[in-house]
Amino acid sequence: MKKQKNQEQIDYKNLLQRTLADFENYKKRVEADRLGWTMDGKIEMLEQILPVLDNLHLTTANAPKELEGNSWVQGILIVIKHLEETISSLGIEKIMPEAGIEFDPRLHEAIRAEKNPKFKSHQIITIVRPGYKMADKIIRVAQVVVAE
């Protein structure tokens, strides 16, 4: 009888330990899912905002020289800065390769190749449109011009 009671206690203890371990695994899984959903939401939001941000950049890049100091243009630059700071505060990083670095197809999209004596083959000459990433996930690759 006593041996049976001891075995029963051991069985209950093992069951409790397995249940606690299962519950800890469940909590970790739920937290991982929550982080994934949060990341997906941020990425969806960014995909909706990026065309607007790109158009604002184009607007200021193509502003006539005589409007450089204009308060309207300065206002657009402030809006751009504010949007970029907000995106950065969400943990989203801008991919802005510098001229002269090696082209990386995981991070860059070559939209044009040009001959340029200042650069070696497959080096980035200029960036056309920045890319974005969150943690290790690439949201949008940077568009670049590369040397032939």
Amino acid at 137: K
pLDDT at position 106 is 95
Q: Enter the pTM of the model.
A: 0.76
Where residue 69 falls among pLDDT bands split at 50, 70, 90?
confident
> Residue 77 to residues 14, 71, 103: CA-CA distances in angstroms?
64, 10, 29
The rounded percent of the chain whose pLDDT value lies above 70 is 99
Bridge partners of residue 140, in order along the sequence? 132
**Pairing label, strands 142-147, 108-114:** parallel
pLDDT at position 7 is 87
pLDDT at position 2 is 75
